[in-house]
Amino acid sequence: MNGRAAASGFTLIEIIIAFGVLALGLTLLLGTLSGASRQLRQAGDAGQAALHAQSLLDERADALLQPGRENGTFEDGRYRWQLAVAPWHDPQPRATDAPEDPFAARLLHVQLDVQWGDGGPQQQLHLTSLRLVLPPPAGSAP
């Protein structure tokens, strides 16, 4: 038997190719894990922004909403919000010219924008809603 044939093993080229394939596989795996952790962080931030938005709208529901603009922050400035409230106007005007009752319930268009981070497209939450506002009780100040 030839001494060279009896000694089996891998050549240097085969070992270099194996390490190259291993390095490529690890690079793809780490890239996938990095992307997954980034998406998980973005989902957590969006969920936290939604909770802040819900608490702000619930807080404002207890008080009488007035048309206008407000802004503020949550978590020491990490989340920034802007609230815009305006009277809602029916896109189809009424056929009657009856005067509007100042003591009737009315609809307000509420728009809340919450941003975090640098405010990019993945770091914004826009909420739009209509709120029914009842008139103040008779005899109370408006």
What are the φ and ψ backbone dihedral angles of 33, each rounded to 5 degrees?
-65, -40
Q: What is the reported pTM?
A: 0.65
Is 70 exceeded by the pLDDT of residue 64?
A: no
Write down the CATH number for the domain with range 12-91+105-133: 3.30.1300
Residue 111's nearest CA partner among 90, 121, 123, 125 is 125
The ranges assigned to domains in the chain are 12-91+105-133
Mean pLDDT across the stretch 14-32? 92
Measured CA to CA, the distance from residue 51 to residue 48 in angstroms comes to: 5
What is the CB neighbour count within 10 angstroms for residue 22?
10
Is 90 exceeded by the pLDDT of residue 95?
A: no
